Structure 1
Amino acid sequence: MWSRFALGELNCLVISDGQPEPPWEPPLETFFTPDSGVPEQELREAVAREGTGRATLTAAYNCLCVETPGGLAVIDTGLGRSFLGYGPYLSPLVGHFTERLGEAGYSASDLTAVVFTHLHEDHSRGAVWSGEPTFPEATAFAHTAEVAFWTDSVASSLPGLERGAALEAIRLFGERLHPVEYGVEILPRLRTVDAAGHTPGHTAVLLESRGERLLCVGDSFYDPLQLRHPGWRTPWDLDAERSVRSRRRILEWAADENLLVHAYHLPFPGLGRVRRYGDAFEWQTVRP
């Protein structure tokens, strides 16, 4: 799946690296757990109020390509081919980014930049899955704190599968991986935004052209339920309290300024707008 749209003068393309299909969609209770601050009863009541009767989360992998004045960039790269980390049943359903990039008329060598919202494997492995750079002409960008975290001894306590892709991305890009700060224009029309908490250097990316804006939020939220319950955390939020503060700040900004939002894990293409809903928020899907 891939879909084109324009943002001002920027040509954009959402490419799905894949998404689980029933019966392989992950249960909601694996994302919103008592240990991450979501009691089982609270989750059941929230799903009941939603009125859909669903018990799973879609967990799409939506990679956003942008034709910038400096060349073609992609924000996050999917899981890559031959991925067995979540079980062999998932492997055929993901790892489709490069083939769909070709379907859209590009090659892997056309990419001049890879922007990582963070270095979890489902965002970075697509760039390095073969042991060689998937995008041989590309320069990479990740927040300074993100690069420091995965190369620090603190990260060594995490499971090998969780840190392997991050370390491989850092190794393979080498000097072509540029650590960046928040609030800087890393490419023409692309600016970094503080979204830390999910990981130490988790980064949102603001695209702006001719007065039109899109906020790419990475893993600031996984499911529309988190907009109704912005205090909900997941087991993958490394700094739980900061992740909640970041999520609420980003949702408030998106709602108050009517930003177009790209959400990596929401159902393809992951585009929508955020509206206020009482003291929380709700998601409204936008189709290109």
Structure 2
Amino acid sequence: MNSENVQNNAQNNGQNGVQRILLGDVEVIRVVEWQGPIAAARDFVPESGAEVWKDNAGWLAPDHWDPDSDRMKCAVQTWVLRSGGRTVVVDTGVGNDRERPGSPFHHWQNDFLGSLARAGVRPQDVDVVVNTHLHGDHVGWNTTGIEGEWQPTFPNAQYLLPAADDFHFGPDNAYGNGVREVDRLIYEDSVAPVHRAGQVVLWEGVHRIDDHLTLESAPGHTPGSSVLRLASGSDRAVFVGDLLHSPVQILAPSCNSCFCLDADQAVASRRRILERAADERELLVPAHFGGTGALEVRREGARFGLGPWAAYEAG
């Protein structure tokens, strides 16, 4: 990914807050559902030492960390890709009216569909929905409550779900082995209705969407955790879902989030994705980074460093 291209192609529509960047022939649109402080930094990334946050406070604050409260900040967001004449939605956020006991998003209400409309995206025009994994903040707008029933929000879309996650979180594995009751609620209101509508395609390993977009398995955070690679012209990007929640994990890739189910696999997947992103100059696009939401990665000896951030404007 050429950093000058990031700078030159980033656009912002000041009237509706739509953030766009053109990567080769693919338009990328960022839609933020929520952004703010989420949890104590070392509760969310338990293995990260206080020093990595303090030593990098100059750039972690204010978008990724609040030094005064020591709380990590992040975003819940969706990426819309216009590729090859089709509209692809990557992760669908939290959703409205969900039973999420103990979560800040319990009975959440927001204008996500209005934000999509302001981006020029109508639900009926979406061709593909990608869930990088099946946690609740990635599948919520898969469905919408209509007359007391959960229905697919995107009625004409093919929903691409990692098969390993569908098994793990679905009824055959008793909704994540019953470890969290919320996993059953998430599956029943945001995944099962799309199955019943016949719109789900389960995939594993590698799945090619079109000439520019390819899904690849990257397990660890969840059994089916995945990344979406974009290659168009000389531009490269990788949408990494929850392989990273904070830029601190670029500096300390052995540090998992508190939600990673298989610690060793998550670290291995994170390192592999960061190595390729650095070597191929891919724009790294995590699901939850605040600020501009995307950046390049550099090798610094045996470590990784931060390259230029995508030049989105606030608003």
Which bracket does the TM-score occupy, shorter chain normalised? 0.7 to 0.9
RMSD after superposition: 2.3
Name the counterpart of 1:253.
276
Q: In 1, Cα distance between the equivalents of 2:263 and 2:94? A: 24
Q: Find the residue that maps to 1:57 and give its secondary structure.
A: strand
Is it true that 1:32 corresponds to 2:37 in the alignment?
Answer: no
Alignment partner for residue 223 of structure 1, among 226, 231, 246?
Answer: 246
Shift in alpha-carbon separation, 1:25–1:188, aligned structure 2, 3 A: same
Q: In 1, Cα distance between the equivalents of 2:250 and 2:39? A: 19
Query: Greater strand share, 1 or 2?
Result: 2
CA shift at 1:158, angstroms? Answer: 2.3
Q: In 2, Cα distance between the equivalents of 1:50 and 1:78? A: 29
- For structure 1, the 5+ residue unaligned runs are none
Shift in alpha-carbon separation, 1:2–1:57, aligned structure 2, 3 A: farther
Name the counterpart of 2:151.
132
Q: In 2, Cα distance between the equivalents of 1:286 and 1:266? A: 12
Is it true that 1:153 corresponds to 2:173 in the alignment?
Answer: yes
Residue-pair matches, total: 278
Q: Find the residue that maps to 2:81 and give its secondary structure.
A: strand
Q: Deviations over 1:201-231 (max 9, x none)?
A: 1010001112321110000110011111100
Is it true that 1:48 corresponds to 2:54 in the alignment?
Answer: yes
Q: In 1, Cα distance between the equivalents of 2:161 and 2:39? A: 28
Is it true that 1:143 corresponds to 2:156 in the alignment?
Answer: no
Q: Deviations over 1:122-165 (max 9, x none)?
A: 00012125222111221100122121111232513221223422
Alignment partner for residue 7 of structure 1, among 23, 34, 40?
Answer: 23
Higher deviation after alignment, 156-165 or 217-226: 156-165
The equivalences for 1:189-204 within 5 A come to 189-204=212-227
- Which one-letter code corresponds to 1:136 in the other structure? P
Shift in alpha-carbon separation, 1:231–1:68, aligned structure 2, 3 A: same
Is it true that 1:110 corresponds to 2:125 in the alignment?
Answer: yes
CA contact (8 A) 1:62 1:270 kept: no
- Which one-letter code corresponds to 2:118 in the other structure? E
Q: Find the residue that maps to 1:200 and give its secondary structure.
A: coil
Is it true that 1:287 corresponds to 2:315 in the alignment?
Answer: no
Is it true that 1:16 corresponds to 2:32 in the alignment?
Answer: yes
Name the counterpart of 1:80.
95
- Which one-letter code corresponds to 2:80 in the other structure? C
Q: In 1, Cα distance between the equivalents of 2:173 and 2:99? A: 26
Q: In 1, Cα distance between the equivalents of 2:120 and 2:56? A: 40
Shift in alpha-carbon separation, 1:166–1:186, aligned structure 2, 3 A: farther
- For structure 2, the 5+ residue unaligned runs are 1-16, 59-65
- Which one-letter code corresponds to 1:117 in the other structure? T
CA contact (8 A) 1:62 1:269 kept: no
CA shift at 1:189, angstroms? Answer: 1.8
Q: In 1, Cα distance between the equivalents of 2:29 and 2:295? A: 15
Q: Deviations over 1:49-102 (max 9, x none)?
A: 223472222220121101122521101011012456376865798744311111
Shift in alpha-carbon separation, 1:180–1:123, aligned structure 2, 3 A: same
Q: Deviations over 1:170-191 (max 9, x none)?
A: 3211121101122231244210
The equivalences for 1:164-243 within 5 A come to 164-174=185-195, 175-243=198-266
Report % sequence identity. Answer: 27
Name the counterpart of 2:298.
275
CA shift at 1:12, angstroms? Answer: 1.6
Shift in alpha-carbon separation, 1:43–1:6, aligned structure 2, 3 A: same
TM-score by length of 1: 0.88
Higher deviation after alignment, 196-205 or 209-218: 209-218
CA shift at 1:106, angstroms? Answer: 2.1
Shift in alpha-carbon separation, 1:15–1:184, aligned structure 2, 3 A: same
